[in-house]
Amino acid sequence: MGKLLRAEPEGSKFLEGYPQVKDALQKANWLQCIKKFKGYHREVTKTFARSFKDKDNQVEIGDLKFTVTESSLAQATSLPQTGERWFKNRSVQDQ
């Protein structure tokens, strides 16, 4: 595997200078999620990204093993489970 280059947001300070962005995020129900980013742990982020198994949505970090689902992401980020579903630049059709 090649180098993992990843930059994570480290807070919502950029919103202080852009009230119009803050308003747009509030209307889209994303503001709560953005406010939760208060830094990150570089090694845990790398381990998560490297261990994520797309086929079964499993992640293993040390002794912790869990499944990443749409519901768990919505709960962790406070984002609503609404809108159009997309995956890697193509629409997902539920049957």
Q: Residue 59 phi/psi, 5° resolution?
A: -130, 140
Q: Which residue has the tokens 């193509």?
A: 90
Q: Mind listing the pLDDT tens digit for each residue in 58-72?
A: 888 889 888 988 888
CB atoms within 10 A of CB 50: 12
What pLDDT score was predicted for residue 9? Answer: 46
Residue-wise pLDDT tens digits, 14-55: 677 778 888 888 888 777 777 777 767 788 888 888 888 777
Global pTM reads 0.52
Residue 52 or 88, more confident: 52
Four-residue CA torsion sign, 28, 31, 32, 38: positive
Query: Distance between CA atoms of 63 and 47, rounded to whole angstroms?
Result: 12
